[in-house]
Amino acid sequence: MRKLLIILFCLVSFSVNAKPILLINKDWDRETYSGKAFIIDGDTLKINGTKIRLVGVDAPEISQKCKTHGHIENCGEIIKLRLVQVTSNKNTICYSHGKDFYGRVLAECYIEDININKWLLREGLAVYYYNKDFKSYRILETLAKQEKVGLWDSEFQNPKDYRKQQKKRKK
């Protein structure tokens, strides 16, 4: 659709003998994925068979535990279920920002007008995962920390550190 708009704009520009002007929207050239999302974990989903990693966020692994008010909880599973609830029976639209080391599409995803990546951070369900194009996400993590919501109201290990520890245990 976006490429069609560019072509139509260029045709209109040529038809009135004006110099063609190409207005560039940074998202026009991004691959878009849409459909019902199958949630794999708190920061990974599939749409129509394409594995998508939410850019700028890192959620606990499915097996990861947290200690909340003295109780041990499976925070990875709880966060996955929250994401399932938010996306349930709704169309999810994701805009690609390239691929990660594992070949997954890195994307910002939306349900209606809700940016899922930002929602996860603001609700304290994920931590900020550095990406030079998404530095502004850090403030959402900071707000969640200050308000002690989600993970920030518990004792938890940063998902990145948890994965490293799990790799060491397997060796």
Catalytic residues: 53, 61, 104
The DSSP call for residue 41 is E
Task: Please name which of 42, 46, 45 lies closest in space to residue 61, comparing C-alpha atoms.
Answer: 42
The partner residues of 110 in beta bridges, in order of sequence, read 93, 115
Q: Look at the block and give the residue holding tokens 């520009």.
A: 13
CA atoms in the 13 A half-sphere facing the CB of 110? 8
Cα gap 141→120, rounded to integer Å: 9
Cα gap 73→56, rounded to integer Å: 25
For the record, the structure tokens of 137 come out as 């996400």
Cα gap 92→113, rounded to integer Å: 10
